[in-house]
Structure 1
Amino acid sequence: MRAWVRNVLLLSRKELRSLRADPVMFVLIFYVFSVAVYLVATGVRLEVTNASVAYVDQDRSALSRQIVGAILPPNFKPPEEIRADAVDAAMDSGRFVFVLSFPPSFEADVLRGRTPAVQLNVDATAMAQAGNGAAFLQQIIREETVRFLTETGSDVQAPMDMVVRIRFNPNLNAVWFSSVMQIINNISILSVLLTGAALIREREHGTIEHLLVMPVTPSEIMTAKICANGLAIIVAAILSLWLVVQTALNVPVAGSVPLFVLGAVIYLASVTGLGILLATFTSSMPQFGLLALPVLIVMNLLSGSTTPMESMPDWLRMAMQMSPSTHFVAFAQAILYRGAGPAIVWPQMAIMAGLGAAFFALALRRFRQSMASAR
C-alpha cells in the first residue's frame, strides 16, 4: 500500500507538471473559472429587465394613470401610449413585449364593485420575460387598484391581501443564482475534459508506452490523473468562489465553503472517472470532444442547475438520478444558497460517493483493457 501511494504521488506530480507546461489548458482553466463566470453572471439575466411596455388608455381616469405610473425601471422601460388600432402592428414588429389595454369606464366599474377586464398582450417569443413580466404587471395592477380604493375611501370589498416572503435571494437577483451555478457547471465540464485529455495526450505523444514499461499499475496511473487534475479544478473553483463570486460580484455564500469543497472532492471522483471512461473509447482529441459533448450537454441541462427537476417527466427525472451532476447540484445549492449543514446534505454525499465508486470501477476496467491492448 505504501508503494502504491508513493507511485500515485509521483505520477500526480508528473501530471501537474504536464498541465503546467500546457499553456492552452492553463489558460482554459483560468478563463472558465474567472472571465466566463463573471460574464455569464452579469450578462445572462433570467429576470425581467428593461422590458418594453405600451398601453392603450380608453378610460383616461386617475386609476389607469396610477397603474401606468407604477410601471417603473429597472424591470420595465417607461410605458408608451399607443392607439388601439396600432396594437397588432406594434406586437408584430416586436416593438413591445407587453401591451396593456384599459377599457372605457374602467375606474367607474371598479368603484361600483364590478370586475372590469384589463387586457394584457404578451410577446411570448421572449419566454422568460413573458412569464415573469406578466406576473409582475398583474401584481402591479392589483396593488394599485387596492391602493386606489383605500385612498378614495371606497367601501368596495378589495381582494385579499397576500404577503410574500422571499428567502435566500430576497432581491430576486439573477447574478446570485447564475454565478454559483456557473462554477458548478464548470467543475463538471473541466473534470471530464481535463482527465480525458490527459489520457489522450499520453497516447498522442507516445508516452503511454513509457508508462507500460514502468513498474506501475493501471490503478496508480488512473488515480494519479484523477488526483492531479481534480486538485487543479478544486483550487480554481475555490479561488473563483472567493475572488469572482464573493469579491467581484458581491454574492453572499450562506453555508460552509469547506463542506462544499469536501462534497466537490467526492463529486470529482465520479466525473473524472467518467472522463477517463470516455477517453478509453477514443483514440484522438477530436473523437474525445465529439463523444464528450453530448454527455456534458445532457449532464448540465438536466442536472437541475438550469431548470427544476420537478418540471421534467417522471421517467427522465428518475433516469437523471444516475447522473452524479444531479446530486452535486442539489448538494451545492443546499449549502451555498440555503446554508445547509452535514445533517441535511449527507444523502447527496453518500449517493455521489456510491456513483463515484461505480464510475471509477468501470473506468478502471476499461483502462486496464486499453493498456493491455497497447502492449
Structure 2
Amino acid sequence: MPHHTLVEKLELALPVIQAPMAGISNAEMVIAASNAGFLGSLGAGMMSPEEIEASLRQIKSETTSVFNVNLFIIDHLPSYYPDPQDTLFLRHVYEKLELDFILPNQYAPSFQEQFEVLLHAKPPVASFTFGILTQEQVSMLHAQGIFVCGTATTSAEARAWADVGADAVCAQGIEAGGHRGSFLSDGGNGVGLLPLVREIVKDISIPVIAAGGIMDGEGIVAAISLGAEAVQMGTAFLGCSDTALAPAYRKALEQHLPAESTVLTNVFSGRLARGICNQFIEEYGSSQPFPYPVQNALTQALRKKAARDGNAENMSLWAGQGLRLIRNNSFKEMAHILQDEIYSAVEKVNIALSVEMRCGRSGS
C-alpha cells in the first residue's frame, strides 16, 4: 500500500497549517485560510460548546476544504476560589484602570463538553494542546473519522502522543508565539525547533509538523528537510488582512520588532506564552500568577479594556520570534508568495548541494 504523506492525506495545496490562535482564529479566518490552500484551524480552546457548534456550521457551509479544530486539554477548575490576599496585585491594576474587579462565574469552558461537540460535529481534523488525550478518547475520535494531532514541546511528549494513537504530532519549538503546549513540564526550559524536530522525527513513526519561527518559504523548506511533513505558522499570518486583530495589536506588529523583543511570560494567563514584552509584563511579570485558566479569566477584562482603549501596554501581544518578518498580504496572496519562495529555496539548495558534491568528488 503506498504511503501517503500528511499533505496528500489532508488534500492541502501547501504543507502549511494556519495555527489555531484562540481568540484570533475564528470561523472567518479558518474559511479564508482553507480556501487559500492552507489547513485552516479554529482556535476553539476558550469557546463554549455552543460557539464551537455554530462556528463549525459556518465553516462547513463556506468551504469544502479540510479544516482543523483545536482544543485545550485542561481542568477548568470549577470550584477554585482564589485567596483574596493573592488577588491584591490584580485588584490594584483594575483600580488603576477604573474597572470593577469581579470574579467570573466560570474560568473556562468544560473540556469534556467541548469534546462531545467534536464527536457530534465530526470536523476533519482535531488538534489538542496543554495536555494529552487518553487512548480511549483518541479511539472515539477515530471512530468518527477525525484525524488527531497532539502538541509536543519535548520528544517525551511526542512519544506520549504516539503511544495513545495520535495520527500526527505538532513539534512546538521555543521560538513559537502564544502559549507553550507543554504537559510533562512547565515548558520553561524550551528546546529550539531544529533539534526538537530532528529528535522527534527519529523517535516516532507518525508524521511530525514543525511549529515555531517559520515565516516564509525558506523556513518551510528548512523544516521539511529536517524531516517534518508540514509546518504550522501563526505569527506569519498575524499581519494578514484576513486576520481580525485589535488595532493596537496590529500596530505593535507593524513595528517589525526583532526576535529578542518577545519573551515568555505567565503573567497574563498562568501558563507560559511568548509575546512582545510590554509594560504589563515588565511591571507584574515577577508576581506569582494563579494557575491557568484562573489567571487568564482574571486578566481578561483588563486585556479587553486595553484593546478597546488602543493601549498595547496592557494587552497580551502574542507573537513568535519571527515577528520581524511579518507581511501584510491576504491569505490568497500569501499562498502564492509561499509557493514561489518554496520553489526558489529548493532551487538554491539544489544548486548549493550540487556545487558541494562536485567539489567534494573532485577533491577526493
Question: Is TM > 0.5 for Structure 1 vs Structure 2?
Answer: no
Would you tell me which structure has more strand in proportion to its own residues? Answer: 2
Which interval holds the TM-score relative to the shorter structure?
under 0.3
Structure of greater Rg: 1
The structure with the greater share of residues assigned to helix is: 1
Q: TM-score if structure 2 supplies the norm length?
A: 0.25
